Structure 1
Amino acid sequence: MRQVTLIATAAMGLESIVANEVRDLGYTDLTVENGRVIFTADVTAIPRCNLWLRTADRVKLLIGQFEAKSFDELFEKTKALPWEDFIPEDGEFPVIGKSVKSTLFSVSDCQSIVKKAIVERMKIKYGITSWFEESGAFYRVEIALLKDVATLTIDTSGVGLHKRGYRIGQGDAPLKETLAAALIKLTNWKPDYPFVDPFCGSGTIPIEAALIGQNIAPGFNREFASENWSIIPSNLWEKALEEAEDLANYDQVLDITGSDIDHRMIEVSKDNAIEAGLGDLVDWKQMQVSDLNPKKNNGYIISNPPYGERLGDKKEVDKMYKDLGLAMQSYPSWSVYVLTSNEDFETLYGLKATKKRKLFNGFIKTDYYQYFGKRV
């Protein structure tokens, strides 16, 4: 089986979570860097990682990495890479790019040079004198320059891995599914513990919890760019899907509740949960946070409430945070995890967090406030 080098890209602050997921899939030869986890594996890892990685943004195939300070250097070193080992004669291969702190700062020029270099290489290898038709499978090439080091990859995922395929409705500021999964992974929640998201919005966190709770592969209901690649025999995708089906634990009983003050969001959440194949697995309630009344011990609240960044929302959001703190005073065995950019959260909640972790929600700097319950 062909060995490849893969890059699982990660949002800032989530690299260690992505690395743990890669290890859990059995790929232990890895390196963790800013924004990515690099690992070697055989090509079976491409379907498996796309299906199973809950917190990674994409899975990219590394073709080559080298220093490039001139366009000639970029052209010749790109042309020297074995593109024909990955892209067939009829492959469609657009080139995208980015450049950070590099001599070659014109992204459009870098893209066209890389495209030309790949074409020249493949013309020689395939014995073609005319244009490539590019009518076959899709291979999106990326040239990423960082401090004059060029990294050339092909994206195996297609649309980002946060697109699970179940979100048919959303609110004003939807949380990415990958970040929602990471918020859960950063806790000690297990499927047999109660779970509540009192600010559930379109239901992303409870839905991700249910997928984790029943060990359902997050990519099970979507398609990937590399499904039609000639380097991955089609039976490998079939095997990966069979493995995902076999490992799912549909009999796992869950106690997961998503609630929100907005009845419209509850309807959206229900629709999204059904689209995810979860049916009535999650209990959805229209409720304000002051009415929280857990019936069991040792539960978990994991939530991404409104941040109050819009001026008109501030008073309302401040009250939500106070109400949450007051409600949870009566439930010391419960652990509470809240993601917010509101720097007054601890004051409003009424208690200093056991632990805080800096994370980014998109481009918003946030803190993940963690309150550990006392087990009973």
Structure 2
Amino acid sequence: MKKEFNLIATVAAGLEAVVGREVRELGYDCQVENGRVRFQGDVRAIIETNLWLRAADRIKIIVGTFPAKTFEELFQGVFALDWENYLPLGARFPISKAKCVKSKLHNEPSVQAISKKAVVKKLQKHYARPEGVPLMENGPEFKIEVSILKDVATVMIDTTGSSLFKRGYRTEKGGAPIKENMVAAILQLSNWYPDKTLIDPTCGSGTFCIEAVMIARKMAPGLRRSFAFEEWNWISDRLIQEVRTEAAKKVDREL
């Protein structure tokens, strides 16, 4: 298992600085880019950022980056990555998303198929499985994404599962709902602080008020939900519970 990971927090355009500040407040150096914030961290970082980032969309592991102008380069690049450090025998690993922008490779379904084939070949080799025998995929799920920008491929694993805006407290939707992570970002950009009165004249389903209370109470936004990484055998249940317990203790229960 790897001890250090290259990670990105994906974020809506224009809100990168907010997420960058949140990442730094958790103690991680980061680099703010268009639509994402890059940082490095260990397994604890994966847990903490999923649990605490209010304005991000997802936390992803960057497995590798390489040139990919042809399908052969794509296959060899994906095959060369250290999948054995992420995917245990029996893991499910769909290529859930492929995106090609300003690149010679532009057929996204083909990119998904070639990438899947390369991962299968690598795992068959590592786990000494016969080439003609399909790998059983009946274990925890690791969703793989491939992004090709200007002929450079970036291969990632989603650690989050359902997007981070899904906090776990919403059981029904109101009309024209606004995403919870967008609300959290707006609150942070509005110069509102917990010691100030918050007035929401168009309350709707109360998202602004709920997010404001969570900020005021220092409640981690992911405390009431589960994440994809919780099913992975190389992230211990003990560490997950430790980080969750630490977050629960920080909640101001007097408000």
TM-score range, shorter chain: over 0.9
Note the C-alpha offset of 1:150.
Answer: 0.7
Note the C-alpha offset of 1:102.
Answer: 1.1
1:212 has 2:226 as partner = no
Note the C-alpha offset of 1:231.
Answer: 2.2
**Among candidates 138, 152, 174, match of residue 171 of structure 1:** 174
> What amino acid is the match of 1:178?
N
Structure 1 segment 149-168 matched on structure 2, within 5 A: 149-168=152-171
C-alpha distance in 1 between matches for 2:177 and 2:41? 34
Q: Which residue of 2 aligns with 1:370?
A: none
Q: Which residue of 2 aligns with 1:121?
A: 122
C-alpha distance in 1 between matches for 2:158 and 2:149? 18
Structure 2 unaligned spans of 5+: none
Q: Which residue of 2 aligns with 1:91?
A: 91
Q: Which residue of 1 aligns with 2:6?
A: 5
TM-score by length of 2: 0.96
Structure 1 unaligned spans of 5+: 253-376
Q: Which residue of 2 aligns with 1:365?
A: none
Structure 1 segment 3-42 matched on structure 2, within 5 A: 3-28=4-29, 30-42=30-42
Structure with greater proportional strand content: 1
Note the C-alpha offset of 1:153.
Answer: 0.3
Structure 1 segment 183-332 matched on structure 2, within 5 A: 183-252=186-255
> What amino acid is the match of 1:246?
K
Note the C-alpha offset of 1:171.
Answer: 2.4
Sequence identity percentage: 46
What do the CA deviations read for 1:81-136 (whole angstroms, capped 9, x no partner)?
00010010111000021111111000000000000000101111111112111111
C-alpha distance in 2 between matches for 1:236 and 1:115? 31
TM-score by length of 1: 0.66
Residue pair 1:93, 1:134 contacting (<8 A) in 2 also: yes
Higher relative contact order (CA 8 A, sep 6+): 2
C-alpha distance in 2 between matches for 1:23 and 1:246? 21
Q: What is the number of equivalent residue pairs in this alignment?
A: 251
Q: Which residue of 2 aligns with 1:107?
A: 108
Q: Secondary structure at the match of 1:231?
A: coil
C-alpha distance in 2 between matches for 1:65 and 1:200? 44
> What amino acid is the match of 1:11?
A
Cα RMSD of the aligned pairs, angstroms, is 1.0
Quick check: which has more Rg, 1 or 2?
1
Note the C-alpha offset of 1:8.
Answer: 0.2
Note the C-alpha offset of 1:172.
Answer: 2.6
Q: Which residue of 2 aligns with 1:71?
A: 71
